[in-house]
Structure 1
Amino acid sequence: MRYGFTTGSCAAAAAKAAAYMLLLGRKKTEITIETPKGIPYTAQILDIRRTEDVVSCAVQKDGGDDPDVTTGAWIYAKVTYCGNDRKDFRSQADFQSRENLQSLEDSPYVQIDGGIGVGRVTKPGLDQPVGNAAINHVPREMITKEVLEVCRLVDYKGGLAVEIFVPEGEQLAEQTFNPRLGIKGGISILGSSGIVEPMSSQAILDTIRVELRQRRAEGYAYVAVAPGNYGLDFMKQAYGYDLDKSIKCSNFIGNTIDMAVEEGFQKLLLTGHIGKLIKVAGGIMNTHSKEGDCRMELITASAIRQGISAQTACEILACVTTEEAVRILETTGKRKVVMEDAMEHICYYLNKRAMGKMQIDCIMYANEFGELAKSKGAEQWFTLLAQEQGQPI
């Protein structure tokens, strides 16, 4: 499958080309940069606009075979001359020292900011501090490296200001996690490797990590988690807990627990549909179907432990959906005890994954029957969540 290039790579390529045209006074329609992954990226330079003091140009984002909402967007860089105010000079000097440059005061430097369509950070816990443009540190390093390369080529020792902007960024951001993360006004300029690997789960894990880190930075030692939107909606409808306060972990229940422990959380509440959570009763911590299923087998195991008949066990094993299996249990009068048995096993594996470093509670539901079972400590969460939202207890 074909890999693509990140918004960070596009921004670095556009900045390098604009710096080249500003300092050399010659048009540049193609530029090559080196990505952190070590893979060169040759970009076509679009919409070139030049004056003696300002150059802007664009690179079109290509997400390869794993496109996201930013694929096709034009990532612009505008480069102008700086004065002698060496804002952020320390970070540039640190970079230059690794290049063994001897006279930092006589060396070129780069100032980076975001313009139209690039988000601005308004909440703590993200890659950039509050107030900064949402241009992550690796893209900033890439931009700096490539622009300084052009400066050295022409022996330019002054400063250059780089503004990254994306004309359609504000509209694109509505389709991303940015509004939820408190990044206002546009997209983020991202990428740790410079390339987009198709079918990668890393982007999802990175998003979970960012949301956990942000919540921890806001001072919370507890976090509510759900595999998907249905779980978040159930929390909202059943318990009045705003889904914007929850974190969506997708299929990565085990990884989310690991990250929550690493970030220093003391408590975690997992709420999910039986179709996902019943897998955890068997120790399956990635609930994607390709990782393992055994949903009916695990429900049947709990049912057998609670004295279900062999005939009913066979009926459950023949079910296609977990909702259907719950309906069968309801007719036997054993739904409650079977679901409590399943919850006991779910909690065992959840807490085993946390290795005693974090208290985990769980609520499991079905669309037709609502709450099926919950851990012993789950009741405490209703008070905790109500207090967080300023609701009467």
Structure 2
Amino acid sequence: MEKYIYKDGKNMRYGYTTGSCATAAAKGAARMLVYQKKIETVRISTLKGWDLDLELEDRIFTKNFAQCSVKKDSGDDPDSTNGINIFAKVERIKKQGIEITGGEGIGMVTKRGLSIEPGNYAINPIPRESIKKAVEEELPKKWGVKVTIFCPQGVEIAKKTFNPQLGIQGGISILGTTGIIEPMSEEAFKDSLAIEISIKKAEGIKQLIFSPGNYGNDFSKSMGLDSKYLIKTSNFIGFMLDKAEEFQIEKILWIGHIGKMVKIAGGIFHTHSYMADARMEILAAYAALLKAPYSLVQKILSSMTTEEAIEFIKDWEKEREFFNLIAQKVSDRCRKRIKSPIQLGTILFSQKYGFLGQCRDAEKLLEGFKIE
């Protein structure tokens, strides 16, 4: 893939995700099955808005099935899956429609708290939808097919990823929200985030909604908040607070997933897992502070993800008090970090349950961010 972004004084090449590879392989296999001939390349569209022309390898077909693979290209981004082949097998079935499943080298979800329920292959919702759409484009009406995504190299490669810690066993995940991998340079990324604050200030905006990720953007919109105030901070929580203070921002409302925000409640201001991770310990400590049963504290500590921990906390009569306390601690930690009198508020949510809790000052701050 010959697209580049300029970072740290050099051109860095974009790549494409395992989700794009699986989509292209499935599309190619479906076309070979329908037309009964080998296909060399396919074109797929990505949510980034870019079309990809990807070469097909390992091509075979019969009257009943076809399969091929696409080699993963991560560009200049360090990635353990770079260079591996993602396969798709498409076979005729009697039932009309498209079934999507995984095979060798694709991880199986074994724990709660992910976007995929336990007992299913780790093919994330967006790539799954992309695969389905791409295959539909190739099939005659009333056809039924089963699409199996597999990766023989995935069993070994997965051992170098966080999948085992997340409860994904036996292989890699099929991932990707945009289909494209942007090569990461941390300093360049932080600089671009700082520029966003500078631009907002230049536009006369003195209050901001901070959210670590994409889900915060979606949740903010669901609350009727104006997206013109929103900036994604990624993992650089402390850096963004410092920059907000530098640009004399007057109000900050944090809207974030509990998985990231709980780290801030523990004083962790760079939230990437390679820097620090004490999510369960922090949750357990505050649960104990509210005199949670010992059995609940144990369950929290044994959880693989915060979403899983929430499953246990939701059955506790102090659930709302607990999440409000976490939100308050996030705001308190941020106030200790900065020296200027920035007004701060925090709202927490989860992917499954939505709103979880908020700090004391969040409600009054909310009004100023709503769409007029």
Give the TM-score normalised by structure 2. Answer: 0.51
2:226 corresponds to 1:215: no
Alignment-derived partner of residue 65 in structure 1: 76
Larger mean Cα displacement after TM superposition, 296-305 or 348-357? 348-357
Q: Secondary structure at the match of 2:296?
A: helix
Distance 1:329 1:285, change over 3 A: same
2:302 corresponds to 1:315: no
Which of residues 244, 261, 276 in structure 1 aligns to 2:260?
276
Which of residues 257, 273, 298 in structure 2 aligns to 1:289?
273
Structure 1 position 358, deviation (Å) = 1.5
Which of residues 182, 190, 197 in structure 2 aligns to 1:205?
190
2:246 corresponds to 1:235: no
1:120-139 matches, cutoff 5 A:
none
Amino acid at match of 1:296: M
Q: Secondary structure at the match of 1:65?
A: coil
Greater Rg by CA: 1
1:1-393 matches, cutoff 5 A:
6=6, 65-66=76-77, 199-237=184-222, 239-386=223-370, 389-390=371-372
Note the alpha carbon deviations across 1:19-42, whole angstroms, 9 max, x for none.
Answer: xxxxxxxxxxxxxxxxxxxxxxxx
* Superposition misfits of 4+ residues, deviation over 6 angstroms: 7-11
CA distance in 2, matches of 1:353, 1:10: 34
State, as a whole percentage, how many aligned pairs show the same letter. 34
Note the alpha carbon deviations across 1:60-81, whole angstroms, 9 max, x for none.
Answer: xxx98359xxxxxxxxxxxxxx
Structure 1 position 352, deviation (Å) = 0.8
Distance 1:10 1:364, change over 3 A: closer
**Preserved contact between residue 362 and residue 374 of structure 1 (Cα < 8 Å):** yes
CA distance in 2, matches of 1:335, 1:262: 37
Q: Secondary structure at the match of 2:314?
A: helix
CA distance in 1, matches of 2:261, 2:290: 19
Q: Secondary structure at the match of 1:331?
A: coil
Note the alpha carbon deviations across 1:72-105, whole angstroms, 9 max, x for none.
Answer: xxxxxxxxxxxxxxxxxxxxxxxxxxxxxxxxxx
Structure 1 position 313, deviation (Å) = 0.7
Structure 1 position 5, deviation (Å) = 9.1
Amino acid at match of 2:212: P
Amino acid at match of 2:221: K
**Preserved contact between residue 255 and residue 348 of structure 2 (Cα < 8 Å):** yes
Amino acid at match of 2:308: E
Q: Secondary structure at the match of 2:310?
A: helix
Distance 1:9 1:262, change over 3 A: closer
Structure 1 unaligned residues grouped into runs of 5+: 12-62, 68-173, 177-197
Distance 1:301 1:10, change over 3 A: closer
CA distance in 2, matches of 1:10, 1:308: 53
Distance 1:203 1:331, change over 3 A: same
Give the TM-score normalised by structure 1. Answer: 0.48
**Preserved contact between residue 326 and residue 335 of structure 1 (Cα < 8 Å):** no
CA distance in 1, matches of 2:9, 2:208: 34
Structure 1 position 269, deviation (Å) = 0.9
**Preserved contact between residue 266 and residue 359 of structure 1 (Cα < 8 Å):** yes
CA distance in 1, matches of 2:179, 2:249: 29
Structure 1 position 357, deviation (Å) = 3.5
CA distance in 2, matches of 1:8, 1:326: 40
Q: Secondary structure at the match of 1:343?
A: helix
